[in-house]
Structure 1
């Protein structure tokens, strides 16, 4: 029955092209992959009431599919058309007809959802691009560098330097670039720089 739906569509296309474009039936049948005798048999064919019903439903499915730009699957198609036609066709019928017509639902990509970030406190720009220091530990700078090695592997090197003499106060190497990497570098800086006298800058932390 469902093969019939597919064949009827081919025969109708052949018939329309023959009438509108005056293409030869023999060539059209060859292109469609159907026997010429089968086409002429279809012209004399008198469908049963069940065949007419299925073919009518197939037309409705194709129209609705095109109207909704291919986003309907057989379940949604069944819900919408059963309501419109006031029928109780089961989902298997819709599934088989859509398969016979080569209709598949277009999967729409889910829009990326995001939550607007809350406003955060922006620290005062105390340094103001002045990278000169008159004493140790009055200004520190930090950065994380990505290192590539091996077969596409990555490591991250986090370091804190003293602007006064560009010496490395502390550093940490990790395979993850996250807050823990930064905090571990900071903690180590305080421990390893304990031999220095920490000079506060206007009563504020020397870290910027």
Structure 2
């Protein structure tokens, strides 16, 4: 029950003015609500008919269709024109949902028997000099219609820039111990 209905139900006993003051309503709002009751009832009757059509279309699709497909179904079968936003709102109020087909990519399957990588920097993400400490990360990037991409980055902790090795003063590059 809303406040306007309460005022309407108790107005003979207590009066509209007094009830509106107690409930913090403007009397003009109450009278507007009462004046538009017939239009509201007609709109609710139309929405009840649309809700029945939506339930039938949803049931015919075995509960898989969402608002866009149900809107298309309602337009195909004729009847009053229905906007997709109205269909979505009515479906929401009636607890109807379509099935969302989203594939989840499992990017990593951890080997429980494998040893964990050691924490070489001891959770200390600060560095006094450039090119002393690096950290890395890998990110999964979904791409529609193609295989997923992976982005790996290495960041220098002192400069917070993407890592790259600068050449030595004599022009030669840093070499890894394995020759890479």
TM-score (norm 2): 0.33
Which is bigger in relative contact order (C-alpha 8 A, separation at least 6)? Answer: 1
Task: Give the number of the structure whose alpha-carbon radius of gyration is greater.
Answer: 1
| TM-score, normalization by structure 1 | 0.30
